[in-house]
């Protein structure tokens, strides 16, 4: 099982952008278990990359393949199945249900893509300092708290690849390190890869591959 990028380039970039990027316009293969850090300054297309890999947008040339399946060729049902079993993501805009409680947001994900028992929600929430927030509506939580909710949500399902788009932008170093430790544990348990895109290197992420977008 591999995630394969073939000459991927956003349509809004000129082809010359591939000359300075280690990702755009390149042929890359990411395997399960790999830890990939993607350093992506503002304007380099970091969020677009994560959207392409998760199948949210198709405004690119080239192709994305997972396990031999071309994401761009999948219909809505096929893409939903890939997301349910193989891809999980923490997006920069989070996409939580603001009028639902923290617990409801997490339980919805757990039931849609079962991997953990319900008790795991309580355990993860305690580790990330959210025990007192499970009954609160997400819309009333701080952005940092919502980021931690989104991280837990991503870890409740099966996945071969965990995609991270600036997951710690509103967390202090201590909370970010705790959250990273939890993600590493969950990825290790599944033998999964992590693709972590951020503005700069994060020293507590033990990457095996470093790429500049």
Mean pLDDT of 190-204: 93
What six digits make up the tokens of 23? 């990702």
CATH of the domain at 139: 3.40.50.300
Query: Tokens 């409740």, residue?
Result: 156
Which residue range is the domain that position 136 belongs to?
Answer: 2-212
pLDDT of residue 72: 93
pLDDT of residue 160: 97
Burial bucket for residue 84 (CB in 10 Å: 0-12, 13-18, 19+): middle
pLDDT of residue 68: 87
Mean pLDDT of 64-78: 95
CA distances from 53 to 24, 62, 108, 149 (A): 13, 12, 23, 22
Instruction: Return d(Cα 5, Cα 70) in angstroms, integer.
Output: 10
Burial bucket for residue 184 (CB in 10 Å: 0-12, 13-18, 19+): middle
Confidence grade of residue 203 (pLDDT, cut at 50, 70, 90): confident
Q: What is the pLDDT of residues 18-60, one digit of tens each?
A: 999 999 999 999 999 999 999 999 999 999 999 999 999 999 9
pTM of structure: 0.95
Has residue 210 got a pLDDT over 90? yes
Instruction: Return d(Cα 149, Cα 126) in angstroms, integer.
Output: 11
Number of structural domains in the chain? 1
pLDDT of residue 94: 93
H or E segment at 110? Answer: helix 102-112
């Amino acid at each position: 099982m591999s995630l394969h990028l073939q000459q991927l380039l956003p349509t809004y970039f000129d082809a010359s952008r591939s000359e300075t990027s280690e990702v755009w316009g390149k042929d890359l293969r990411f395997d399960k278990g790999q830890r990939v850090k993607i350093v992506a300054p503002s304007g380099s297309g970091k969020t677009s990359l994560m959207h392409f890999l998760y199948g949210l947008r198709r405004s690119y040339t080239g192709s994305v393949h997972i396990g031999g399946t071309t994401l761009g060729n999948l219909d809505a049902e096929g893409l939903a199945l890939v997301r349910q079993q193989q891809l999980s993501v923490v997006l920069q805009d989070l996409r939580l249900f603001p009028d639902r409680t923290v617990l409801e947001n997490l339980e919805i994900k757990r039931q849609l893509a079962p991997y953990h028992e319900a008790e795991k929600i309580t355990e993860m929430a305690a580790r990330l300092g959210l025990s007192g927030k499970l009954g609160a509506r997400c819309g009333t939580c701080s952005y940092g708290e919502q980021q931690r909710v989104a991280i837990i949500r991503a870890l409740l399902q099966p996945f071969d690849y965990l995609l991270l788009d600036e997951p710690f932008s509103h967390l202090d170093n201590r909370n970010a390190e705790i959250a990273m430790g939890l993600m590493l544990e969950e990825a290790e348990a599944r033998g999964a890869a992590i693709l972590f895109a951020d503005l700069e290197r994060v020293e507590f992420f033990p990457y095996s591959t470093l790429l500049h977008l």
